[in-house]
Amino acid sequence: MPFARHLYNAVLRPVRRARTVGPLRLAARLPIVFDLISLTMQTRDLGRLRRIRDAYPVATDEHHKRAHDYNAGVSQAKGVTTTRRAEDIYEILAMPPRPLRHERLLIVGPRNIHEFLIAWVHGFDWALMQGIDLYSTNPKIRPMNMEAMDFPDQSFDAIGMSATISYAKDIGRCLHEMARVLRPGGRFAFGMPYHPQNTEWHGDRLSASEMRRLLRETGFEVELVKSYGRIFTWGYWLSRLRNYPAPIYRAVAAVVGTFGLDGKFLYIDTRDSMEVCARRR
């Protein structure tokens, strides 16, 4: 009977997901193992980290100097990166499941070696990974402007970028550079915040539709755009409304104050962030 056959297969011959990484990388994904490896690697680079604000190896104008100072300040304040926020980017690049050991990967704006470890546990070959940023905390990260890269055309099979594109002075030029250094068919996955009231970083004000248009204009076919909100408190949401029209802010503030909601958790889909994957035509 079909049911008996399906039951037999489900119990004794279940379908297993294709595994494209070995047991060592699977073990390294475990939180405590990953954190210990990352801590050890980042600790070796603390000397470089202390010197990243001594000079501007790449930044030549006020915009890029401001981006350098902001990101270098964040790196030095944290000391060691622990978040695995970038993991979504490399999970996207690793799909569909396939061997990645021959794919050349460029990591844009990693700040430190932590993001390389994330890419490695998802199957990318350590020797075929390169990174660029406005400063270098590790020999694998070259000081370079993502809007004017030194790499030859079609140097990479994949590009990963987590919450970095917002710091570009010219988003279109940055995307053009990504397309130039990718081989045809190569994939570009990146994350970006969406804060339309932000006056400091132009990229934060780009909507998903605007980003789709820019990607098409610079030689990409969009495969995925995922927008999502966050879980936060009513008080935090209220703080984000300060730049909205005063009647809206006052009305929400009155509700929050009246019902004592300031510290209560709230979920609202504000499209605070986006993840995008595009294929080079």
Domains and CATH numbers, the chain: 18-230+271-280 (3.40.50.150)
Whether the pLDDT of residue 6 is over 70: the answer is: no
- The pLDDT value given to residue 208: 83
- Cβ(174)–Cβ(168) under 8 Å? yes
Whether the pLDDT of residue 78 is over 60: the answer is: yes
Tens-digit pLDDT profile for residues 234-255? 776 777 676 567 888 889 889 9
Nearest to 75 by CA among 55, 52, 59: 52
Whether the pLDDT of residue 173 is over 70: the answer is: yes
Q: What is the C-alpha to C-alpha distance for residues 112 and 117, in angstroms, rounded to an integer? A: 10
Whether the pLDDT of residue 4 is over 70: the answer is: yes
- Cβ(96)–Cβ(148) under 8 Å? no
Mean of pLDDT over the chain? 89
What percentage of the chain carries pLDDT values higher than 90? 64
Query: Which pTM was predicted?
Result: 0.83
Whether the pLDDT of residue 60 is over 90: the answer is: yes
Sign of the torsion angle spanned by Cα atoms 211, 206, 93, 127: positive
Band (pLDDT 50/70/90 cuts) for residue 19 is: low
State phi, psi for 157 to the nearest 5 degrees.
-95, -20
Max Cα-Cα span within the chain:
74
Band (pLDDT 50/70/90 cuts) for residue 202 is: confident
Whether the pLDDT of residue 273 is over 90: the answer is: no
User: How much is the average pLDDT of 183-202?
Assistant: 88
Band (pLDDT 50/70/90 cuts) for residue 123 is: very high
Range scoring the smallest mean pLDDT among 15-19, 31-35, 84-88, 141-145 = 15-19
User: How much is the average pLDDT of 125-131?
Assistant: 98
Nearest to 264 by CA among 230, 232, 226, 222: 232
Band (pLDDT 50/70/90 cuts) for residue 228 is: low
- The pLDDT value given to residue 178: 98
